[in-house]
Structure formats: structure tokens, C-alpha cells
Structure 1
């Protein structure tokens, strides 16, 4: 009798232990930090590989859509982007009746797509091996692990195939921007005098907006060298602001600089400093918001995807205007017509002036985040700490995007209309995407 009781007790303990371990791996795997760390890894590689802001936004979007499409199967309230984003057909589905770890599938999909779109595959591989081992260490059953990896790979391959048809590869062979003689048009700026970045970006397939020119902003002020003209006054405003910057304005300009390739000149030595892109900054703000809202894995995937789509279409819309107007930068104009010794606080980026890219994508991102987390979502932005800058706190996403816009004037790289018109343009893009793209089935059904 004692033997039977002892065996029964051991069996009960074993069953309880197995049940507890099974519950433990499921709980551990749901930690959204797996997703947040994966986004940060791709950001670090984007910084290392020096992708331009528009190209970085493309990478963020494809990898975030992949992560979202794999993650949503654990919660029936989420809707696929298939049929909503241009060219995205039905995404592969998991096998009915089989057990999956969808967070693992989501991270797999994100990292596979990210790896396919960056240069430093070795850096991605080191991180990938580490985070996959962490998933294994949760105690996840081998069959669930392998099945989830396979499903994540299926989703990734579908997204990569979709990405191959957006005209990006073809645009790599398009002709360079030709410098025009007209004094009102953009010219390369010191110290590197780089070629114009992505002059054909408006030819990339849009994701949600109808066309690159759908949200064409108000035109810039008519170019003039007349000292009584409005254009001269706007240039003089940038000049005077740059001369009289307060410490706070300098801090704001530096915080939102986000120039991925700053060329430094020390005597006869020239070297580059790498920084996060504007899109990377807003993806990190998304991370901060998710933490503040205690967003779960699927909610976090939704947030990254919605912000990334707003970013990429924001850049396409902005670049469409930049290379339509091809307006001269303040640095070039001021040096030629006002003060040849004047230097902006920030290094002028290598593309035309109107509209401000920061203003457009910040406005679009702020709309996406506000729709998800609310109007008065206070947060502290720590994005720039790793680049030697302090944190900044905001009462809302709108407050952050407004500061990002005006920072470009403080930095001496945009006239006021580029910032104000760009912010309006970004809000229009963001609002359109928020209305058109639905990530909740109830909202999608109501729309239809």
C-alpha cells in the first residue's frame, strides 16, 4: 500500500511539474522584449551599414509587416494587411490543429526579412543565433519550436517576394541627379559635397497612400535674391536664428539631428560619424510607447507595423516634393547672398530642401502612435543616449513631432515653410493611413 501511495505521489509531482514547465515556456515566449530587441538589432545594423533615411524606412516596413503577420494568429481580433497594402496578397496561414509559438514565428519572420535587406548579414546571424537559443531555453517543445520557425520562414519568404516588386532594385540603376544651373535649385553642400540621395524615390511603390503625389504640399516661397523679398526674409530668419541659438535650441537641434552619415573634418583628416536615421528614432519612440502602455507582443507588433508604414509612405510623399521643387538649401543661399562665413549648426543633408523630411515623417508617425496610445501619452525619449545626448520628455506624440519639425530650423538646414508645410503633409499622410489601413477585424468589417 505504501509503495502504491509513493508511486502515486511521484506521478502527481511529475505531472504538475510538466504542466508548470509547459505554462512557463508559453509565458516566457510571450515577452515582447523578444520583438523590441529584434527591432533594435536591425536598427543597429542599419546605422552600421549607413542606409539613407528613405531606404531605412523601407527595411523597417517590410520586416515589421512580416512580424505582424506572423504574430496576429495568437489573437483573433487582429486583421491581416493582405489586400490592404498595395501588392500584398494573402499571407501563408499556420496549419489548423497544430500548436505554434507565434511570438517565435514573428521574430523569425522579422529577422529573416531584416537580414535579406541589410548588408551586414554576419551581425544579424550572431544576434539571431543568440535569441533563438533564448526561445529554446524557455523549455518549448522541439516540435513547436521547429514548426514555429518553419511558419515564420514561410511568412518571411512571402514578404521578401512582395518587396522584390516595389521597383527598388530597378531604381538602383536609374541616373543620378543632374545639378542645374538655376541659382534657386539644390547644389551639393560642404564638407562632403555628396550626390543627391534617392532622386527617384517617388517611383517606389507606395504602401498605403494612392500615389507619391497624393499629398502634394503647399509650394515653397518663390526664390528671389531681392533683399525685400519674402524668400530673402526666410533665409535671413534661418541665418539670424543660427547666430543667436539658445542652449535649449542647440540641444533640440542635436537631439533630432538623426543624420546617418555626418562627415567630420579636422584639418586634413576627414572621418564619418554614424547616427540613427529619423525613422529609426521614431521606431524607438514606438518601443518607449509600448513599454509605457505595457503593450503585449501582438500589440507591439501592431504598433511597429503601423508606424513603419507611416514612415515609408511619408518618405515617398516627401521625396516626391523634394525632387519636384529641387529648392536650394539655406546654407548655399546664405553663403552666397547673405554671409559667406555662416555655417549651420547641423550638417546639411544631401538632398533638396522642400519639404522637411523630419517634419513629414514625424507628423505621420505621431498620428499613428496617437491613434494607438492616445492624445496625451506622456513619455521620455531616450533614443539619443547611446549617441552622447540626454533624454527629452514630451507630453504627447504631437508635442514631439512639433519639436522635431522646428529643430530643422534651429539646425540651420530648412526654411520655416519646409517645416510647417512638411508637418501638415505628414499629418495628411498619417491620417489617410489611419483611416485606410485597419489592424482590427471589427474596424475592417465596419469599413467594408
Structure 2
């Protein structure tokens, strides 16, 4: 919402196709572009996060200390009405979009189906029904069920399922030896995690990587950030649709591996002591509190890389990436392409012990489909 309001502000003062509408200036007023961009962001943020209004006000005032004075109509008058109107447009457009639906989720004890793992109740079970920004629905690019199986029983009894479970069982264990998961794989698992409170979470990390690339390539950012924001917002809706709105709400690896319940597959051996590498600030091992399929990280990564390579006209752009995860403090990782970063991001979830590889693969494919829809249809 914030980046689309800023984008519509930008094109109203320049060129391009708006997301919602071009805002007409008030006659005889002058308009400072940066001031109106900040106003658009400020107004949206206060509307979406009203309890943090004072924080945003402090930051806004600090940023705008050098503004030209707001005056009466005339040659010396300045207005921020374009930013205000663009913000109001997106706030009104997103009213009743389904994002406030906090209805609960009834977990299942059926083998293969997700249930809480100790990290809390299901988060966002209705998010797949939120009105998208660019997609026709959250299910527009819904992937097939895990492994392409039509039922949970067919999945559980398959050799493909056993291979998925045993892969993460070996590579994603908290106690995996270096002969199974080497130091670099452990580092990249935490580098991409950003699951714990106090980090910018996966979309925030990808926004920072967008900023890194945009800065080194002198990019005019409102359109790029709006495209990335749209794609990742719709990626979240598409991922949560796949997690909660299908017949398989896939259980996390720690449940599949540690529970004594028989999955009916002789190729998987339960281990009640198994825990994932993933760990919070208190040293507690955990899995995120929602189904495994598809991976949200992978879907965000696929959407991000899909926009970036289409925007710049090439995938082969090198950059140094950063993280806020406390278990990878100060770590940077370098990539020669957007796709390479996205692929590593997706695979990291297996090393962290919280996803299967098919969660990652389906997430990347879904995210790229979302990116293609966003880039080819909007903000031209």
C-alpha cells in the first residue's frame, strides 16, 4: 500500500501508468516531489499502523525539516495534496480487503496434516483469501498438491515423500554433523531465516536487497519498489492460499520426523528427539506456526527475483546481500544473479530444518508466476 501510494504520487508528477489514478495538481500551487512522496508514505503508514502514529510523526518531521513552507495559493504556495490524495486512494481501495479476518483454525491430528509444533497457534489461516493487488485471486497460480499427489494418503505412502522427509531429517537437524551440513550451509540457513521477532522478516530482507541493487545502479526507485512490493504482497497471499486452502495442509518436518504416529511408510523412521536447526533468541528450537507447503520464503524470493530480473532486463547482476538474523550477525553473502540468491534462499529452509525441498521448489515457481503477472500487467 505504501509503495503504491508513493508510485502513484511519482507518476502524477511525471510519467507512467498509475496503479489506481493520476492525481491532478491544484492550480497555482508548486509541488515538491520528495515532500509528496514522504507524505504518501506517512499517511498510509499511520492508517495501517495507528498505534505507531507518534513514531511515524517523529520520523516524518525529522525527514522534512528542510521543506519549503506550505502557503496559500499563488506562485510561492507549496502543496502536498498529491501525496495525500494518492495515499487516500490506496487506503480507500484496500478497505474491506479481508486482511482483518482473524477467524481461527482447527488443526487436524490426521497423519500428514499440520498441527501446532509448540511455536503458537496457526498464523494467518485466512490470508490466502485476502484481495490481491495484481492477481485475480490467491489461487490464480496455486501449485499442485505436494509431490503432485491427489490425496494425503497417497503422498504419505510414496517413495517421493520418504525422500523429502529423509533429506530434511539429515540436513536440517539441530545436531547434524558437518559431514551432512557443512559450515557454509549452516551459515546460509541462518542468513536467510529472519523468522524471529525483532528482525525485518523475509520481505524486509528482500526490500533491503532491492535497495542495495538500486543504489549501486542509480535506479529511480518508486516504480521498482512498487513492483517488488506488489509481487511480494501477492506472493504472501498465494503462499498462504496453498498452505491453508487445499486438501493437504502439510505438516512440518519436525512433526513428520519426531511424532511416533505411523505415517504408513516403511522408509521413514520416527525420531522423537529430532529438532530443527531453527532457533529463537532464547535458544528454543522451533518451526514457524503454519503449514509447510509452500514455503513463504521461497515464494517471496521467487517473486522478488522475478521482478528484479524483468525490471533490469537481465538476471546476471552481482550484489552483496545482508541480513538481520541474530544467528548470522554481520554476515554478507555475494551473488552473481537474482535467481541464484532466490534459489539459495529457498534451499536454506531445508538446512534450517523447517521445510521440505518441494516446498521450496513450488514456492519459487509460484513466486515467479506472480512476478510475471505483476510486471507484465501493472505500472507500465
TM-score bracket relative to the smaller structure: 0.7 to 0.9
Note if contact 1:110-1:156 (Cα within 8 Å) is conserved in structure 2.
yes
Unpaired stretches in structure 2, ≥5 consecutive residues: 261-269, 279-285
Structure 1 counterpart of 2:292: 353
Partner residue of 1:185 out of 101, 110, 113:
113
1:257 equivalent to 2:198? Answer no
Q: Return the offset for 1:330.
A: 0.3
SS at match of 2:45: helix
Query: Take 1:145 and 1:319, find their aligned partners in 2: how far apart are those partners?
Result: 50
Could you say if the C-alpha distance between residues 383 and 95 of structure 1 is closer, same or farther in structure 2, counting changes exceeding 3 Å? farther
CA contact (8 A) 1:366 1:398 kept: yes
Equivalent residue, structure 2, for 1:406: 347
Instruction: Give the secondary-structure state (helix, strand or coil) at the position aligned to 1:114.
Output: helix
Structure 1: how far apart are the matches of 2:125 and 2:55? 30
How far apart, in 2, do the equivalents of 1:247 and 1:414 lie?
A: 19
What residue in structure 2 maps to residue 201 of structure 1?
127
1:228 deviates by 7.2
Measure, in 1, the Cα distance between the counterparts of 2:348 and 2:379: 32
- Residue 423 (structure 1) aligns with: 364
Pairing 1:361-376 to 2, within 5 Å after superposition = 361-373=300-312, 374-376=314-316
Per-residue Cα deviation, 1:15-45 (whole angstroms, up to 9, x for no partner): xxxxxxxxxxxxxxxxxxxxxxxxxxxxxxx
SS of the aligned residue for 1:384 comes to coil
**Greater Rg by CA:** 1
1:245 to 173, 177, 181: 181
Deviations 1:303-323 (A, max 9, x none): 110000000111111111101
SS in 1 for 2:271: coil
**2:265 aligned partner:** none
Partner of 2:238: 317
Query: Who is 1:126 aligned against?
Result: 58
Tell whether the 8 Å contact from 2:70 to 2:79 is kept in structure 1 after alignment. Answer: no
Report the Cα offset of residue 385 of structure 1. 7.8
3-state SS of 1:380 partner: strand
State which of 299, 304, 317 in structure 2 corresponds to 1:377: 317
TM-score scaled by structure 2? 0.85
Q: Is the 8 A contact 1:255 1:389 kept in 2?
A: no
How big is each residue's C-alpha offset from its partner over 1:183-205, in whole Å with a ceiling of 9 and x where there is no partner?
Answer: 21101113x3x110111112211
**Match for residue 326 of structure 1?**
249
* Cα distance change, pair 410–101 in 1 and its aligned pair in 2 (3 A): same
Q: CA deviation at 1:99?
A: 2.0
Aligned to 1:219: 145
More helix per residue: 1
Pairwise CA RMSD: 2.1
Offset at residue 405 of structure 1 (A): 0.5
Q: CA deviation at 1:141?
A: 5.3
**Within-5 A mapping of 1:76-155:** 76=15, 78-82=16-20, 90-96=21-27, 98-118=29-49, 119-133=51-65, 135-136=66-67, 140=68, 142-143=70-71, 147-155=78-86
Deviation at 1:176, TM superposition (A): 0.4
Aligned to 1:432: 373
Q: What stretches of structure 1 of length at least 5 have no aligned partner?
A: 1-61, 83-89, 262-273, 440-448
Q: 1:185 to 1:65 in 2, by over 3 A?
A: same
- What's the CA shift for 1:91? 4.6
Deviations 1:207-260 (A, max 9, x none): 111111111112213556978733122111101112222110111110110214
Aligned residues: 346
Q: Deviations over 1:345-403 (max 9, x none)?
A: 11311000101111111101111111122321111112438872411111111111111
- Equivalent pair of 2:192/2:325 in contact (CA under 8 Å): no
